Structure 1
Amino acid sequence: MTDTLAIIPAAIDTYRQPVVYMHEDCHICRSEGFAAQTRIRIDLGSRWLIATLNVVMRGGWLNVHAAALSASAWEALGASEGDRARFSHPEPPASTSAIRAKAYDGRLNEADFAGIVRDTLENRLSDLELAAFFAACAGERMDTRETVSLTRAMQAAGATLVWGGRAILDKHCVGGLPGNRTTPIVVAIVAAAGHLIPKTSSRAITSPAGTADTMEVMAPVALDTAALRRVVEAEGGCIVWGGGIHLSPADDHFIRIEHVLDFDSTGQLVASILSKKAAVGATRVLIDIPVGPTAKVRSAHAARVLGSMLISVAEAIGLHVELHRSDGSAPVGRGIGPVLEAMDVLAVLRRNADAPADLRTRAIDLAGKLLDMASGSGLRSGRDLAQSLLDSGAAEAKFMAICAAQGGFREPAPAFQSTEITAPTAGKVAAFNNRLIARVAKLAGAPRQKSAGVRLLVRSGDRVEAGEPLYEIHAETPGSSNMRAAMRRASQIS
C-alpha cells in the first residue's frame, strides 16, 4: 500500500501537540509533497488524527520505511508497534476564515467559536493559526457577547456533569501566586459542612505546581467521571484532575499556546474559567482574584475589568458567581512545589502550631464566603462555621475521607537535597517577586520532580541580618552548587 507506513513510538513528549516524524527520503513525503511543518492526517483503523510533520534528515535516527509518532499522537491513536497507518492531506480547517475575520476586528458568533473549538480538538489548526486567533483576541478585543459564545462553545465540546438539581459549590483562583494552595482546605471545610463541591483542577503548565499536582502527592487524582461521582456522592467533595474527564477539553490546548505567547485575553480567561465551572455542574461559584504587581492581575483596574466580565458572562450562562479580591503581593504559605505545598496544606488541616497563618486565613475566608453563598440567607456567618470545622478537626477528617475515596492517602515525602539561600546584607524584606520565586522553584525541578521547589523562611516586613537564611531550594538530585546556579540565573530574569 503506497500510502501507508509502519509506525513506531518516537518516545518524544510534545505535550498535547501530535507530531509525526518521517525520513526525508520517505516515498510518501515525495509523492504527497510533504515537507517540514506540513499538517498530515493519520488513519489507523477507525481512529484518526491530524499531526504536524517533522522531517528526519539522512543519517538520522529514523528508517526510511517507518514513521514515528510523538507520545501524544501514539496514545491518541491507540497504536501498537508493527501497525501500519495511512497518511494523507487533511481537509483545510473551515474555521480559518473566522480567525481571519477576527484578525480584522470582526465579531464572531457562537457557530464561529464552535468551529474554532472543534478544529482545535481535532488538531486541524496549527499552533501558528491558534496563535493568530489569540493575538486577534488579545487584551479586551472580545466583547461580552463573544465571550459568552466562546464559553458556551468550550463547554459544549465536552461533557457536562448533572447533579439532579442540587446546589453545587465551586471555587477558582485566577492564579499568579506561588503556593496559594487553598483548594484542598476549602473543599474539606465545605464538604464537612454537608455541601457538595466536586472540584476539578489543572496540572501545572508553566507554574511550579497546579492544584492537581499538589493533591496527587497525597491521593490519586486521575479519576474518570464515574469515579468522581462516586467520591462526591460518598463524601460531598473531591479534588481531581480535570484533564481526565473531558470537561471543556479545548482549554488545555488554548492554555498551551497562551503561555508561549505570554499574554492573556480577558475574554478567553473568562471563558476558560466559566466553561469548566459550567461543565462540572456548578451552580454557585466563588472566584478569587489576587491583585499584586507580580501576580497575574496587577492592578485594581484590571481586577475590575475582569470581575465585571466574569459576572456578566456567568449571568448569561446561568451561573451565580461572586468575587473575592485578595492580596497578591507575595507567595502564600511557605512551600512552592507539589510536596512542599502539600505539607503546608496538611499543617493547616492538622492544626499544627507552625502551620502557615496566611494560608489558613485565606482558606477560612474563602470557605466562609462559599458557605454564605450556600445558605442563601444573606447572613454572613459562614466564616465562623468554616473556622470551627477547621479547628475541631472535622475538616481534616473529611479531607482524609476524600483521599481514601479517591484511592488512598499518601504522606508527602520531602526532598533529599536542600540548600539555604542567605541574605547578602542586613535589612528588611520589602517585597517578593512572585515570578522570580516561581522561576527558582521550576529550575529546581518542580513540578515534574514532586519534592522539588522552594521553602520560604521569611515574610514581608521581616528584618534579617547578613548571612541569615531567606529561603531553601529543594531538589531530588544532588548538587547544591547547581541549585545556587539556578537561583542566580532566576535572579537575572525580570
Structure 2
Amino acid sequence: MLRVRRLPIDTYPDNTAFMLRHSNGYSAEQFQALRKIRITGEGREILASLALVDDDQIISDCEIGLGEQAFRRLGLPEGAMVQIAQARPPASLEFVRRKIDGDTLGEAEISAVIRDIAAHRYSPMEIGAFLVACAGFMSTPETLALTEAMVAVGNHLSWDSPLVVDKHCIGGIPGNRTSMIVVPIVAAHGLICPKTSSRAITSPCGTADVMEVLAKVELTSKEMADIVAREGAVLAWGGRMNLSPADDVLISVERPLRLDTFEQMVASIISKKVAAGSTHLVIDIPVGPTAKVRSQNAAVRLRKLFEYVARHMGMETTIIFSDGSQPIGHGVGPVLEARDVMAVLRNESDAPADLREHALALAGHMLEFDPELPGGRGYARALELLASGEALAAMERIIAAQGANPVKPSLGKFRHDVQSQSTGRVTSIDCERIARIARHAGAPLDQGAGIDLLHKTGSAVHKGEALYRIYANSDIGLGFAREFAGENSGYVIA
C-alpha cells in the first residue's frame, strides 16, 4: 500500500506516476519491468507510466507521486492509500497490430481500441502506431465506426429543440474567426447554437482562445445549458465538457506527427458535433495552395466523406468550399482576432471586409435550416441582423452570460515590421508560414502576440514598406518570430 501524493507536474496527456528507485523492497530491475503500472484504490483505477525518482526530498519510500493528469483522473484525495500492480497490455492492441498489417477492422474492434484510448490505457507511441496505420489506409465504413466509437465513450448534451445548428471550419487559414460572428447572428434570429470550440494546438489560436479575450470559456455542462436556455447560444471551450474525449487524446499525438488525414478529420468533427447535440451543421472547407485542402478534387472527396458519415449519424449538413488562398481578416492571434470580430459586429468602417462577407455567407447557410424562413432568404436575413446591431447585442449578452473578462488583454509591447524587399504587387500569401510566424511570437499563450496584416493579395507595395507587424510580449518571442520571418516572410511580391 502506498500513500498518494500530488505532484505539481504537468504530464499532459499522459498519466505519470513517480516512485523512488529503491523503496518498498523493489530493485531497479523490478521497477523497469513495471514501466506501466495499474493503480487502484477505493474502487477507482488508472494506468500510468512509471518514472523513477532518485531524490527522497521529492517523494518518500511509502508514497506514490501522481502528476496533475493522473491525480485528477484517479479522483482520490491526497493521502489516500492505493495499491500498484503490473499493467497488462490492452487486448485491443492486437487490433492495432492487425491494422498495421493492412487489415480492415470491424466496428467492435475499432470500438475496443477507442475505449482503451479514452481510458488512457495506450502510450503515446501506441496511439501513434494506430494513427499511422489508419493514415496508410482507412475505409469509409471504418471511418463511420471510428466516429460512432468516439461518440460512445464521452458525455452527450441534449437540447429541447428539434433544430440545433452549428458550424465548423476544418481550419488551416489564419484569422478565419467566423464563428464569433456567425453564432450571435444565429442567436439573434432565434435558433439554438451551443457552439463548443477548440483551443489551438499548432495554429496561432482557436476560437476558444479568441473568445477568452472577451469572456470566460471554461464552462461546465450545467453552465452551458443555463446560458443556452437564456441566450440561445454559447461560445465555450469544448475540452471542459468531455465530449468525444478520445478525440482529444488522438489529437494530442496526431498534431506533433503532422498527421491530418481526411478520415481522422471527419471522425473528429462529426463526433464532437453529435456529442454536443447538434442536428444541423454547416461545414466550411477552405481550398487553397497553402490550406489543408489544396485542390478541388480533394475538396470533393472530403465533402463526400463528410456527407456519408453525417448522414449515418443522423445529422443534416451543408458543406461549402471557400477561398483558402490567403489569411482572412487583418489580425492573427487572440487579441488581434478579437479586435477584428468586434469591428465586424460593430459595423465599423475599417472592419475587415473578407471576414465580414465570409461570416455572412456561413450565417446565411445556417439560417436556411430554419423551416420558417423562406428559401434563399438566409443571407439577406443574416445581413439584416448584423447591420441592425441585433447581432452585436446578442454577442454582448453572450459575453455577459459567460462572464466578461475583467482584464482586457492588450497587444504585445514588443513589435517589428516585416518589410517588402521589392516594389510590386502582393501575388500570394503563405497561410502556413504566417501561422508559424505568429506561433513563434508567442500566440496563443501570449494573448497579445500575433501578426497584424497590413497588405493582402492584390495590394501594391513599395520596397521597404511594411507588409505586416509582429507583436509579442517578450523580446525572446519577438526574436524567434523575426528570425523565422527573415528566412521567408510568407509574401510573394511580383
| TM-score w.r.t. length of structure 1 | 0.93
Deviation at 1:82, TM superposition (A): 4.6
Mean alpha-carbon deviation: is it higher for 271-280 or for 480-489? 480-489
The alignment's C-alpha RMSD in Å is 2.3
Of 290, 298, 307 in structure 2, the residue corresponding to residue 294 of structure 1 is: 290
Q: Distance in 2 between matches of 1:17 and 1:434?
A: 32
Deviation at 1:304, TM superposition (A): 1.1
Q: Describe how 1:16-95 pairs up with structure 2 within 5 A.
A: 16-27=13-24, 30=27, 33-35=30-32, 38-56=35-53, 58=54, 62-63=58-59, 65=61, 66-78=63-75, 82-95=79-92
SS at match of 2:180: helix
Of 401, 413, 420 in structure 1, the residue corresponding to residue 397 of structure 2 is: 401
Q: Distance in 1 between matches of 2:374 and 2:327?
A: 32
Q: Describe how 1:27-426 pairs up with structure 2 within 5 A.
A: 27=24, 30=27, 33-35=30-32, 38-56=35-53, 58=54, 62-63=58-59, 65=61, 66-78=63-75, 82-138=79-135, 141-375=137-371, 379-408=375-404, 411-426=408-423
Q: Distance in 2 between matches of 1:467 and 1:27?
A: 69
Q: Distance in 2 between matches of 1:216 and 1:124?
A: 32
Give per-residue Cα distances to partners, 1:239-286, cap 9 Å, x unaligned.
111111111111110111111221223222111111111111111100
Q: Is the 8 A contact 2:170 2:284 kept in 1?
A: yes
SS at match of 2:369: helix
Count matched residues: 487
Give per-residue Cα distances to partners, 1:1-23, cap 9 Å, x unaligned.
4xx255340x3322222222334
Structure 2 letter corresponding to 1:260: P
SS at match of 2:429: coil
Q: Distance in 1 between matches of 2:297 and 2:145?
A: 25
Deviation at 1:337, TM superposition (A): 1.2
Q: Distance in 2 between matches of 1:144 and 1:6?
A: 45
After the TM superposition, which segments of 4 or more aligned residues of structure 1 sit over 6 Å from their partners? none
Deviation at 1:482, TM superposition (A): 5.4
Give per-residue Cα distances to partners, 1:19-59, cap 9 Å, x unaligned.
22334334475288232992222234443321222334x57
Q: Distance in 1 between matches of 2:479 and 2:263?
A: 44
Q: Is the 8 A contact 2:411 2:472 kept in 1?
A: no
Structure 1 letter corresponding to 2:309: V
Alpha carbons of 1:320 and 1:452: their partners in 2 closer, same or farther (altered >3 Å)?
same
Deviation at 1:360, TM superposition (A): 0.4
Q: Distance in 2 between matches of 1:490 and 1:86?
A: 55
Alpha carbons of 1:277 and 1:212: their partners in 2 closer, same or farther (altered >3 Å)?
same
Which runs of 5 or more structure 2 residues have no equivalent in the other structure? Answer: none
Alpha carbons of 1:466 and 1:313: their partners in 2 closer, same or farther (altered >3 Å)?
same
Q: Is the 8 A contact 2:34 2:86 kept in 1?
A: no
Mean alpha-carbon deviation: is it higher for 60-69 or for 47-56? 60-69
Q: Distance in 2 between matches of 1:51 and 1:179?
A: 39
Alpha carbons of 1:377 and 1:187: their partners in 2 closer, same or farther (altered >3 Å)?
closer
Alpha carbons of 1:29 and 1:190: their partners in 2 closer, same or farther (altered >3 Å)?
farther
Q: Distance in 2 between matches of 1:79 and 1:400?
A: 40
The answer as to 2:400 corresponding to 1:435 is no
Structure 1 letter corresponding to 2:468: Y
Q: Show the counterpart of 1:471.
A: 468
Q: Distance in 2 between matches of 1:36 and 1:387?
A: 64
Q: Is the 8 A contact 2:34 2:87 kept in 1?
A: no
Give me the identity figure in percent.
43
The answer as to 2:465 corresponding to 1:484 is no
Q: Distance in 1 between matches of 2:400 and 2:55?
A: 53
Deviation at 1:187, TM superposition (A): 0.2
Q: Distance in 2 between matches of 1:37 and 1:286?
A: 48
Q: Show the counterpart of 2:446.
A: 449
Q: Distance in 2 between matches of 1:376 and 1:175?
A: 31
Structure 2 letter corresponding to 1:477: S
Alpha carbons of 1:435 and 1:261: their partners in 2 closer, same or farther (altered >3 Å)?
same
Deviation at 1:452, TM superposition (A): 1.1
Q: Distance in 2 between matches of 1:46 and 1:406?
A: 36
